[in-house]
Structure 1
Amino acid sequence: MKIKILFALLCAAVTLYSCRNNGEYNTLDNTSSDTALVAADSVYSANQKLIKTADLNFKVKDVRKVGEEVTGLTRHYKGMVMNHHLRSEVERLKDVELDNDSVMRVSLFNTHADMTVKVPAEHLTAFVAAVNHLGVYTTLSDMDIEDNTLSYLESQLRMDSRKELVKQQKQGTIKLKNPQDVLIFKDALVDEQINTKRIDAAVKYSTVSLSFFENNTILKERIPNTNPAVYNTGFGLRFKQAVVNGMHLFAEVFIALANLWVFVLMAVAMWMIYKYYRRKHPALFADKGPVKRVV
């Protein structure tokens, strides 16, 4: 009877021990599988990566002056100007002739400016409010907040896994068949590090895109007349020039005839011979009249 009781107690102890061990293993498995999720939740709740951006489009009285004031505000809020582009486009142009030497040019043009600045994220709201006060009115004001916490966490987890893989490969724990795979993992590790740095920079400094314009401007300026047709001389000067040109032309003709003196002398000699021969033989040059035909 005692043997049966002892045997029953031993079976019960073995069963309880096995159940206890199974429970411990299950607890360890659950703990190991949930470690990453717990870490993810803690990082997500403690270190949110919020990227803030803003877009502003507004009208101002003076584009150049407002550009300088925006630069001053950016320095005040410990930011930096990344881009500043100013342009003026002529819409219409007209020239009014004043005299032969000058014209009045009337230009109608508009002026625009685009700026991109970065300011600390904690000063974004104050900076946008200050810039809004520089304009006559605002045509667009847009502010966005993008949550990159999960992307940041994903990059960190990938970095950790790649670091662990490279570490085990150096220790000889694991061996890769292709040595190029180590370089691929290292390059991927660098990419993830750069991605986290990029997210950190975007979280720290917010990007603000500004576009502002002013009313069309009319500019009048007196400029030299560039049309050569208007530069003509007076009548007296042109007449005097014509007389001088005629004298030059006569001299050129006379010089040309002088170069032909041999031919002129020959022509005179032939004319004298002809006159002499006609005087000696007048019968040859007499007019015999019409010839009568005999039928």
Structure 2
Amino acid sequence: MKTKFLIPLAGLALLCACKGKSNSSESADTLKASADSTKEVMRAAKIIHSDTIQSHPKVVKTAGIRFQVKSVRQATEQITALTDSYHGEVTHQVMQSAVVDSVDVRKSDDSVMRVTLINSTAEMTVKIPPANLVAFMNKVAQLGIRVNDQKIEVADKTLDYLSTRLKLKNQNELVDAQKKTTVNKKDPDNLLAFKNNMVDEQINNRKIDDSVKLSTVVLVFYETNAVSKRMMADNNLADYQQPFSKRFGMSFETGWNVFVEVLIGISNFWILIPVGLVIWLAIRYFKRKALVKG
């Protein structure tokens, strides 16, 4: 009798023990997964912190100035020399001269003086070490008569640089992992786009590095409109005519020449005079004969 009651009690106890063991196992797996996730987050945070410490601040400085000078050509030479003295380099240079207006003043019958109003401008792009940027801008401003506008801008590219660096690191890890596996999950087009994206990110970081090492300065300068005077031959052919007195005297000579030419032309037809005379006499004879008969 006692044995019949003990068997169900033992089964119930065994079931409870198994359930408790299962709950304990599930709880342990959950804790383990949470711990792994926490470790992964801490590892990523540690990598970002380490890269942030290793990466120097990426500060990009740019500047620009527009000013008036006495002579564009002289200012260009002075700025080039100034750039060399501050260990910089000229990357772009353009000089232009445009005619604003011109007028021709007659000096004689065949010559004129051309007065021209000329506007000269220049544009230069130079790269200067950031440590010398302010001193360079001050020296350039002293070369001008008047400064229209001047600016210096500072942009912090540290986070952009770090973001690209971390992305490249993740992409390199993915490439290394794919090399270790026999199956490549990426098709050729996607793989090419993936590699091209890595190249673009590397180039962007190189550009940031170059911008940090050398600051870009854009200079636009101009001079007061210059007046140019130049003697030159008259290119209007209508102005090359004889004076009135000369042309009036020449008209008599021309008229006489025409009259002579007409006489000569008439003399070429001298045979017509006797022939005409004979015809006129014949007509007169026949008219008189007709009157007599009548």
1:32 corresponding residue in structure 2: 43
Q: How far is 1:225 from its partner?
A: 2.0
Q: Which amino acid aligns with 2:47?
A: A
Q: CA 1:26 to 1:103, structure 2 compared with 1: closer, same or farther past 3 Å?
A: closer
Mean alpha-carbon deviation: is it higher for 32-41 or for 74-83?
A: 32-41
Equivalent AA in structure 1 for residue 210 of structure 2: A
- Give the Cα separation in 1 of the matches to 2:36 and 2:251: 122
Q: What percent of counterpart residues are identical?
A: 35
Distance in structure 2 (CA, Å) of the matches to 1:194 and 1:119: 21
- Give 1:239 deviation, angstroms: 5.5
Tell me which residue corresponds to 1:218: 227
For 2:159 and 2:274, how far apart are their aligned partners in 1?
115
1:42 to 53, 56, 63: 53
Say whether residues 1:276 and 2:282 are aligned partners.
no
Which secondary structure does the structure 2 equivalent of 1:140 belong to? strand
Within 5 Å, give how 1:77-88 maps onto structure 2.
77-88=86-97
Counterpart residue type for residue 219 of structure 2: L
Which residue in the other structure is 1:146 paired with? 155
User: Aligned ranges for residues 82-101 of structure 1 at < 5 Å?
Assistant: 82-101=91-110
Which of these residues, 163, 179, 190, is aligned with residue 188 of structure 2? 179
Residues 23-67 of structure 1: CA deviation (Å, up to 9, x unaligned): 975763443242333234324xx4111111001112222221011
Tell whether the 8 Å contact from 1:166 to 1:185 is kept in structure 2 after alignment: no
Alpha-carbon distance in structure 2 between the residues aligned to 1:262 and 1:168: 122
Contact 1:108/1:218, CA 8 A, preserved across alignment:
yes
Residue identity opposite 1:38 in structure 2:
H
Q: Which residue pairs with 1:4 in the alignment?
A: none
Instruction: Please state whether the residue corresponding to 1:281 is helix, strand or coil.
Output: helix
Mapped contact 1:59–1:212 kept (Cα < 8 A) = yes
User: What SS does the corresponding residue of 1:48 show, helix, strand or coil?
Assistant: coil
> C-alpha separation between the residues in 1 aligned to 2:248 and 2:226?
49
Count of residues paired in the alignment: 268
The answer on whether the counterparts of 1:168 and 1:174 sit within 8 Å (CA) in structure 2 is: no
Superposed displacement of residue 215, structure 1: 2.4
Rounded to whole Å, the distance in 2 between the matches of 1:252 and 1:227 is: 34
Cα distance in structure 2, aligned partners of 1:21 and 1:238: 120
Taking structure 1 as the reference length, what is the TM-score of the superposition? Answer: 0.76
Tell which deviates more after alignment, 181-190 or 75-84: 75-84
Cα shift readout 1:217-252 (whole Å, capped 9, x = no counterpart): 223332222222322224575456545544654465
Distance 1:96 1:23, change over 3 A: closer
**Alpha-carbon contact 2:52-2:162 (below 8 Å) kept:** no
Distance 2:34 2:163 in 1: 32
User: If the length of structure 2 is used for normalisation, what is the TM-score?
Assistant: 0.77
Give the aligned residue type for 2:239: V
Over the residues paired in the alignment, what is the CA RMSD in angstroms? 3.2
* Distance in 2, Cα, partners of 1:30 & 1:152: 22
Report the alpha carbon displacement of residue 268 of structure 1 after superposing the two structures with TM: 3.4
Deviation of 1:119 (Å): 1.7
Gapped runs of 5+ residues in structure 1?
1-16, 286-295
Distance apart, 1:276 and its partner CA: 2.2
Q: Secondary structure at the match of 2:212?
A: helix
